[in-house]
Amino acid sequence: MDRFADRRFHDAWLIPGDDRLAHGSFLQRNDLLFSPVFDRVSPPLLRWVADHRGRLMAVERESSRFLPRFAADPTGLGWRALLAAKDRRTLLDAARASERPQPLTLPLRCTDGQDRWCMIRMMRVPLPGRQAQWYGTVEDVHERHDRDSRALAAALAESREHYRSSVELSPQVPWTAGPDGDIQEVGPRWFDLTGMAPHRALGTGWLGALHPDDMERVVAIWRGHLASGAPVDVDYRIRLRCGDYRWMRARASARRDARGSVLRWYGTLEDVHAERMAQNALSDSEERFRLAVQSARLGIWDFDCVTGIRTWSDEFRSMLGLDEDHPATTDIALRLVHPDDRERLRVMLDAVAAGAVPPHFESTLRVHRADNGALRWFRSTGWTTRSAAGRALRIVVTFRDITEEHDAEERIRWAATHDPMTRLPNRALWQATLEEMAARAQVDGKNFGLLLFDIDDLKRTNDSMGHDAGDALLCAFAERLASVAPPDAVLGRLGGDEFGLAAASLSDSAALERFSAALIDNMRMPHVHQGRSLDCGVSIGGAVLGEHAERADDLLKAADLALYASKGAGRGRLTLFQSSLRSEAQQRGSMIRMARQVVADRLATPYYQPRIDMRSGHVLGYEALLRWHHPRMGVQLPGTIAAAFDHAEIAVALTGQMLDAVLGDVQRWLQAGFDPGRVAINASAADFASGDFANRVLGLLDQSAIPTAHFEIEVTESVFLGRGAGQVAHALRQFADAGVRVALDDFGTGFASLTHLKQYPVDVLKIDRSFVSNIEQDAGDAAIVDAIVKLGGSFGMEVVAEGVETASQVDFLLNQGCVVGQGFHLGRPQPVDMFSPPQFGGHK
Torsion angle of C-alpha atoms 779, 780, 783, 789, degrees rounded to 10: -120
Determine the pLDDT at residue 101: 93
Torsion angle of C-alpha atoms 565, 561, 464, 751, degrees rounded to 10: -20
On the 0-12 / 13-18 / 19+ scale of CB atoms within 10 A, 160 is: exposed
Determine the pLDDT at residue 840: 44
Nearest CA-CA partner of 253 in 174, 199, 160: 174
Least confident of 275-289, 472-486, 501-515, 686-700: 275-289
Share of the chain above pLDDT 70, in %: 85
With a CB cutoff of 8 Å and minimum separation 6, the contacts of 116 are 67, 68, 107, 108, 110, 140, 142
What mean pLDDT do residues 409-438 have? 87
Is the pLDDT at 726 greater than 80? The verdict is no
| Euclidean distance between CA atoms 773 and 781, whole angstroms | 9
Least confident of 16-25, 49-58, 104-113, 756-765: 16-25
- What is the SS3 assignment for 210? strand
Length of the chain: 844
Determine the pLDDT at residue 13: 46
What mean pLDDT do residues 613-632 have? 90
Cβ proximity of 117 and 106 under 8 Å: yes
What mean pLDDT do residues 581-610 have? 79
Determine the pLDDT at residue 134: 92
Nearest CA-CA partner of 841 in 695, 661, 672, 636: 672
What mean pLDDT do residues 620-646 have? 83
Determine the pLDDT at residue 297: 53
Share of the chain above pLDDT 90, in %: 21
| Euclidean distance between CA atoms 433 and 437, whole angstroms | 6
Is the pLDDT at 449 greater than 60? The verdict is yes
CA 11 to chain centre: 56
Give 485's Cβ-side CA count (13 Å radius): 24
| Euclidean distance between CA atoms 694 and 363, whole angstroms | 70
| Euclidean distance between CA atoms 837 and 673, whole angstroms | 9
Is the pLDDT at 49 greater than 90? The verdict is yes
Radius of gyration (Cα) for the chain, nearest Å? 40
With a CB cutoff of 8 Å and minimum separation 6, the contacts of 410 are none
| Euclidean distance between CA atoms 30 and 24, whole angstroms | 12
Domains of the chain by range and CATH? 10-140 (3.30.450.20), 171-275 (3.30.450.20), 302-407 (3.30.450.20), 424-577 (3.30.70.270), 595-841 (3.20.20.450)
The region that residue 231 occupies, defined by phi over 0 for left and psi between -120 and 50 for alpha, beta otherwise, is: beta
**Tens digits of residue pLDDT in 761-806:** 889 998 888 888 888 888 888 888 888 898 888 888 899 999 999 9
pTM to 2 decimal places: 0.44
- What is the SS3 assignment for 361? strand
SS3 assignment for 538-566: EEEEEEEECCCECCHHHHHHHHHHHHHHH
- What is the SS3 assignment for 515? helix
Q: Which residue has the higher pLDDT, 250 or 294?
A: 250
Determine the pLDDT at residue 519: 87
Distances (CA, A) of 446 to 63, 443, 554, 571: 87, 8, 16, 31
On the 0-12 / 13-18 / 19+ scale of CB atoms within 10 A, 82 is: buried
Q: Which residue has the higher pLDDT, 29 or 514?
A: 514
| Euclidean distance between CA atoms 615 and 704, whole angstroms | 33
- Highest mean pLDDT of the ranges 26-30, 117-121, 149-153, 523-527: 117-121
Determine the pLDDT at residue 837: 44
Q: Which amino acid is at 215?
A: M
Q: How confident is the model at residue 296 (pLDDT cuts 50, 70, 90)?
A: very low
Is the pLDDT at 413 greater than 80? The verdict is yes
DSSP state of 134: E
Q: How many helices (H) and strands (E) does the chain have?
A: 27, 33
Distances (CA, A) of 35 to 5, 28, 418: 21, 11, 81
Nearest CA-CA partner of 559 in 543, 547, 579, 573: 543
Cβ proximity of 332 and 326 under 8 Å: yes
Cβ proximity of 59 and 109 under 8 Å: no
What mean pLDDT do residues 652-674 have? 90
Is the pLDDT at 498 greater than 50? The verdict is yes
What mean pLDDT do residues 357-382 have? 81
What mean pLDDT do residues 677-695 have? 86
Distances (CA, A) of 398 to 109, 360, 385, 522, 720: 101, 12, 14, 56, 68
CA 829 to chain centre: 33
Determine the pLDDT at residue 124: 93
Nearest CA-CA partner of 577 in 512, 520, 515: 512
> DSSP string covering 668-720, please?
HHHHTT----EEEEE--HHHHHTS-HHHHHHHHHHHTT--GGGEEEEEEGGGG
Q: How confident is the model at residue 1 (pLDDT cuts 50, 70, 90)?
A: very low
